[in-house]
Amino acid sequence: MQSADDKTKRYRSFGSYLRETFGCRVQKIGLDAGFSCPNRDGTSGTGGCTYCDNAGFSHHTSADAPPPPLEKQLAHGMKHMARRFKAKKFIAYFQAFTGTHAHTEALRRTYQVIRDFPEIVGLFIATRPDCVGEQVLELIASYRRDYLTWLELGLQSANDTTLRRINRGHTVENFSRAVERAHERSLPVCAHVILGLPGERREEMLATADFLAGCGVESVKLHCLHVMEGTRLARQWRDGKLELLDQREYAGLVCDFLERLPPEVIIGRLAVDVRGKNLLGPRWCGRGKQDTVRMIELEFERRGSRQGSLLG
């Protein structure tokens, strides 16, 4: 089922994909299963990504206390989404930190919680490309029988120099291999990308779009680099070593990026809402993402282009 709004959009939105798949409004519920991250606990690195803001993952995440039980998070999330959006179906989204960073049996027990909620129709798991072993992929793929099941992989940039600069702790090759292994199990992949990373020029950002088009990922999520208090990036920003994108520049880059992606790739996100007083910059990231999304749509209209335009 496509709405009129879907037909006029110049990119394939996640909302329209869900409506086509389920024929109704479906909302994602962000969950914190209490996992850590291999780039923080020494498994693949220490210190974490320079921009990492723990509290930003979900409102359940706090440095001071363990997250509430998953059952409680799900029940609360469904009630909230049903009231706000009149949603009747939901996707459980293991979002916080690294959603596969535990032994396979522990992961099995964790993901299993969704079986208690018949309203849940999807399982989305966000993780790192260096944290998806064979058994973990088998486990996740086993949910495909009953749920819409996706793997979300953080790439951020397809440039290894940038990945080192932001202390990602994995390589572009790690990402390519993880996508191949997910696809061997028919698991669709959503790649997370940040535009405006330190030291990246426009050409490097757009090379990431070309790389993702070549990888055959099924979805891409974009957001603009923003600086949060308490991160390593905050120090660089205070030292004047970091240039941040302005809103119009970001909107133009997003259009450039999407013009390079095949039209069937689902665009899971164009911008984020950064809440709270810890945002240091750019300030426009704290003013609500709708404004940015509108600017991107207007820029597409001005150019007369759309997702995939440059692919001929």
Q: Which residues bind ligand SF4 (CB under 6 A)?
A: 37, 39-40, 48-49, 52, 97-98, 128, 154
Tell me how far, at minimum, the Cβ of 57 lies from ligand SF4, in Å: 8
Tell me how far, at minimum, the Cβ of 144 lies from ligand SF4, in Å: 25
Nearer to ligand SF4, 154 or 268 (CB): 154
Nearer to ligand SF4, 48 or 252 (CB): 48
Nearer to ligand SF4, 35 or 147 (CB): 35
Q: How many CB atoms lie within 10 A of CB 8?
A: 9
Nearer to ligand SF4, 97 or 211 (CB): 97
Nearer to ligand SF4, 46 or 290 (CB): 46
Give the whole-angstrom CA distance, residue 257 versus residue 215. Answer: 15
Residue-by-residue DSSP string for 80-114: HHHHHH---EEEEEE-SS-TT-S-HHHHHHHHGGG
Tell me how far, at minimum, the Cβ of 100 lies from ligand SF4, in Å: 11
Nearer to ligand SF4, 91 or 153 (CB): 153
Tell me how far, at minimum, the Cβ of 241 lies from ligand SF4, in Å: 20
Q: How many CB atoms lie within 10 A of CB 291?
A: 12
E strands present in 128-258? 148-156, 189-195, 219-224, 227-228
Nearer to ligand SF4, 231 or 307 (CB): 231
Cis before residue 188, ω within 30 degrees of 0?
A: no
> CA-CA distances (angstroms) from residue 136 to 14, 277, 312?
25, 37, 38
> CA-CA distances (angstroms) from residue 134 to 33, 117, 150?
21, 27, 16
Tell me how far, at minimum, the Cβ of 174 lies from ligand SF4, in Å: 12
Give the whole-angstrom CA distance, residue 44 versus residue 131. Answer: 9
Of 177, 214, 212, 174, nearest to 193 by C-alpha is 212
Tell me how far, at minimum, the Cβ of 115 lies from ligand SF4, in Å: 27
Cβ contact 235:282 at 8 Å: no
Cβ contact 51:228 at 8 Å: yes
Tell me how far, at minimum, the Cβ of 132 lies from ligand SF4, in Å: 13
